[in-house]
Chains A and B, each alone.
Chain A
C-alpha cells in the first residue's frame, strides 16, 4: 500500500502536466469529444454541420464571407483542421508572388483551402483539387460552387492521391504543375511527393506547400526533402489552426531539379 503522502507528492507532477499540455487537452476535447457528442446528437457528419452553418451565415458568391464563416465555425462552434486564417495568409502571399497557372491541391476536405487558393489565382489559372472521401468531396463541391467558382477554374477529382498523381498527365493533359498544396493524410506526404518527382510534372521553380508538417507532423516528408537536395525549402513556423499554444509549421519547397 502506497501511503497517501507519497501520492500527494505526485500532485506537482500532475499539475505540471495539466498546465503544460493544456492546449492538447483542449484540442482533444474540441476535436474528438465534442465531435462524437455532436455526431450522436445531430446524426450528421461534422462536415455537413459546417456546411449548414456556412450556408446560413455566408453570402453566396463571396469567397471571403464563406471563409470567414468557416473560421467562425471552426473557432467558436466545433473544430475542423482547415488551414486557418493565419497560415492561410502565408499561403495567399505565396500564391500572389508565384501567380501559378496550374495548381494541384491534395486533400480538399470540405473546400476551405480550395476556395482560399482559387480566390488568389490569376485569371485563366486552373486548380485541380483531389479528395479521397466521397462525402467530403460532395460538400467541397457545394462549397466551391457556392463561392462562385465554376468547372473551368476548379476541378474536383474524387480519388486517392496516389492513384491520381500518376494519371494526371494522361487524363488531364497536364504538362507542368506550378503550385502544389498538400493538406491530406500526413503519412502520404512523402510517397506523394516522390510520385510527383517521378511523374516529371515538377519543373524548375515549381512550388510545393505542405501544411501541418510539425503537428501532427510529417517527419518522413521532412527527412526526404532534407536529403533529396532537389528543393530549396523552409518551414514557416506558426501555431496550429484555431489553437494558440500548439506549434505547427508549413513547409515551402521550391523545386530546383537535379543540378
Chain B
C-alpha cells in the first residue's frame, strides 16, 4: 500500500478529474477571450499607462513649474500621434474586408488560415520555448478567428456563421448539461468542499457514506416495495387476527412513548416486524404471494449486497493493481504526494508538514532497514501491547456477556420492574465499549513504535476484532434467548390446545362441528414469537448506536469546540493549539462504525423489515450532521493520510462483515423452525419450505420435477466441483499474468539500466577516442 493518490471510488474521481480538466479548458478559453479584448484595448491602455506613470513621476519629483509644463506639452503631443496610429490601424482593417478582396487575395488568405490552423494543431510538438509557443498560439488563433468567418461569401458565409453559432451553442449546452449532472449527484458540492479543507481521506469517508446510502436505498426499496407496502395495503387489516392485534394485557400501555421507543406496543404489531405478517399464501386481488416475496426479498437483499461489494472490490483492484509499491519509493513521494484537491491554507500547511515528515520517516526507514538497534526491546513492547489489547478485548467481551445474561434475568423477572438504565444496559454497554476501546487501542499502539501506516492497519484490525467480538457475543447471547423462547413456545402451544379444548368443552359438547366461538383476537393466547424478538433487539441496537454516535458527535466535537473556542479568551494556556485542542476527524473509526452498522442491518433485516428504512434515515441524518460537524468543529488531521489502497481494505472488511453477518441469519433460517403463530412462515417446518410450496402449487408439474432433479446431490456436487475448478483456473491464470507483468517490469528496468550504462561507457570512451585522435593528429606533426 503506497501513499500515492488512489481514491476510494476511482470512477467518481475520474469523472471529477475530467470535469475539472474541462473546466480548466473553459477557463483558458475565457482567459484567452479576455486577452483578445485586452489586445483590442491595448492602444488606449498604453496611453493610460503612460499618463499614469507620468502623473506618478510628477507627484514624486517636485520639479519646477516649467519642467512640468514642458512635460505636459509632451504628453499632449504624444496623444494625437497615438490617435492617428489607431486610425491608421482601423483603415488597414477596413482594407482587409473580404468583400473588397480579389479572388487571388482571398485564396491567399484561405491558405494562410489553413496554415495557421495546421500550426495550432502541430504546435505541441514544436521544439520551441514555451513563451514562443504561447505567443504563436495566441496570434494564430486570433488570426483564424478574425478571417475564418469572413472567408465565405454570401450564402456560404451565412451558413458558416450559423454553423459557428450552433457549435458554440452546442458546447454551451454540453457544459450546462455537465454542470447539471454534477449538481444532480447528491451531496457532491458538500463533499468537494470538505475535500478541499480536509484532504482526500476525510472526503473518502463521505464518499463511502454516500455509496452506503445508495445501497441502503435499494435495500429499502426492495423491502418497502415488495414486503411492507403489499402487506399494509392488501393484507388483512390490523385487529383481524391475533398476530395483528395488541394483546389485552398490553393494550393499556401500547401507545406509551417509552413502550414504542422500545419497539413494543403498536410498533411491534405493525408491518415493521416479522410477527405481523400473515401466512396466507396469496393476498389481495393481485394474488400477491406474500410469504414467497418475504423470503425472496430476504435472500435478494443479501445477494444484491454481495454482488455490489464484490463488483466494487474487483473494480478497485483492477485500477489500483497497476501501481508499483516498492521501487522508486522516493520518486513516487516526490512527484505524487501532493493532494491537489486541498484548497485551505491550514490543510495545505499540514499536508506540507506531513510530506516532509514522511520524507524524514522514509529516509530513517531506509537507514534503519540496514541497522536495527535494540530489536529485543521493540519486540517485547509489541508483544506487551498485543497482550494488553487482548486483555482489553477479553474484558469487553466478558462485560457484554455478563450484561446480556443479566438482561435475560431481567427479562424473566419482567421488564417493567426495572429502570430504563437496566433495560437498555446491553445496548449502552456495547456502544460505550465500541466508542472507548478504540481510543485505548490507539494509546496502546504508541508503545509499538510502528510506522504510522502499519500502525493504522493494526489499529483497524484491532477495532475490527473488538466490534466483531462484541457483535458475536451479542448474537450468542441472543441464541440462548431464542432457545429459551422456543421452550416457552412449546409450553404455550400445549396451553393453547388445552385452552381451546376447554373452550369447546365449555359450550355445546354434542355439536363439535358448530361454528367456532368468536373471541376477540386480543384475548387469544399466543406464543412468544422469537423472530420478532430478534428483530426488536436489532432495532434497539441500531437506535442506541445511532444515538451514541450523535451524542458523541455533539459532546466530543461540538461542545468541546465551543469550550475551546470561547474559554480560550480567559484561560491560562492556549487551548486551541495546546492540550484539549479541537478534535480531528477519525476516518478509520467512522468507516468501521459504518461497516458494522451495515452488518447489523444485514443481520437483522430479515426479522425486522423496517431496518433498511431506519438505516437510510440514519445515514441521511448523519450525512448532514457529520458534514456540518466536520466543517464546524474539526481541524484537519496533523498527519494527512491519503485515502490510499485502504479503500479496498475497507471493502474487504465490508465483505467479511457481510459474510459474518449473513452467517447467523442463514443459520437461524435453516435450522430453527419458525414460530407457530406469527410471521409469514408460520405453520411450516422450515422457512425455506415456502419455495417447495410455490414450486408444487404455482408451477407446472414438470418444472418441479426438473427442479428436484437439479437439486439432486448427484448433479449439485459435480457442478460445485466444476465451479471450484473454474475458480482455480482463473486464479492461476491471473497469477501467471501477474508474474509476466513483474517480468516485464524487470526487463524494462534492466533495459533502462543497460542504456544508461551504455551512455556512461560512451561518455567514458568518447574522451579517450578524442584523446587518441588528437594524439594521432599531433604525432605526425612531431615526427
Q: List residues of A whose CB falls within 8 A of some B CB.
A: 1-3, 5-6, 8-13, 15-16, 19-21, 24, 186, 214-219, 222
Contact = CB atoms under 8 A, between A and B. Distances in A.
B389 to A, nearest CB: 11
Contacts, number: 75
A217 B433 contact: no
Interface in B393-435: 396, 399, 402-403, 406, 419, 421-422, 425, 428-429, 432-433, 435
Contacts of A186: 573-574
Nearest to B443: A19
Given A12-B392, A12-B439, A6 B574 contact: no
Question: Which 9 pairs between the two chains have the least Cβ-Cβ distance?
Answer: A217-B574, A216-B573, A9-B432, A12-B436, A13-B436, A16-B439, A12-B440, A19-B443, A219-B574
Contacts of A15: 440, 443
A19 B422 CA distance: 31
Contact of A214 (B422, B444, B577): B577
A217 B425 contact: no
Nearest to A19: B443
B283 interface: no
Contacts of B594: none
A236 to B, nearest CB: 14
A9 B577 contact: no
Interface in B369-411: 392, 396, 399, 402-403, 406
Contacts of A219: 568, 574, 576-577
Contacts of A9: 399, 428-429, 432-433, 436
A246 B576 CA distance: 15
12 contacts: A3-B421, A5-B399, A5-B406, A6-B428, A9-B432, A11-B436, A16-B443, A186-B573, A215-B579, A216-B574, A217-B574, A218-B574
A32 to B, nearest CB: 12
B402 A5 contact: yes
Contacts of B396: 12
A16 B437 CA distance: 9
Contact of B433 (A3, A12, A24, A215): A12
Interface of B: 392, 396, 399, 402-403, 406, 419, 421-422, 425, 428-429, 432-433, 435-437, 439-440, 442-444, 568, 572-574, 576-579
Contacts of B421: 1-3, 6
Contact of A8 (B399, B406, B444): B399
B444 to A, nearest CB: 8
Nearest to B438: A12
A216 B579 CA distance: 9
B674 to A, nearest CB: 33
Contacts of B433: 9, 12
B425 A6 contact: yes
A214 B436 contact: no
B437 A5 contact: no
B477 to A, nearest CB: 14
Contacts of A12: 392, 396, 433, 436-437, 439-440
Nearest to A185: B572
A1 B429 CA distance: 15
Contacts of B439: 12-13, 16
A2 B420 CA distance: 9
Contacts of A3: 421-422, 425
Nearest to B403: A5
B370 to A, nearest CB: 27
B573 A215 contact: yes
Given A8-B399, A215-B579, A219-B577, 20 more contacts: A1-B419, A3-B421, A5-B406, A5-B425, A6-B425, A6-B428, A6-B432, A9-B429, A12-B433, A12-B439, A13-B439, A13-B440, A15-B440, A16-B436, A186-B573, A215-B573, A215-B574, A216-B578, A219-B568, A222-B577
The interface centre, meaning the residue of A6, A214, A215, A222 with most chain B CB atoms within 10 A of its CB, is A6
Nearest to A8: B399
Contacts of B443: 15-16, 19-20
A9 B426 CA distance: 11
A1 to B, nearest CB: 6
Q: Identify which of B392, B425, B577 gathers the most chain A CB atoms within 10 Å of its CB.
A: B577
A105 to B, nearest CB: 22
Contacts of B579: 21, 24, 215
B577 A217 contact: yes
Contact of A10 (B425, B432, B576): B432
A214 B432 contact: no
B574 A214 contact: yes
Nearest to A5: B403
A16 B577 CA distance: 20
Contacts of A5: 399, 402-403, 406, 425, 429
Nearest to B576: A219
Given A2-B421, A12-B433, A215 B578 contact: yes
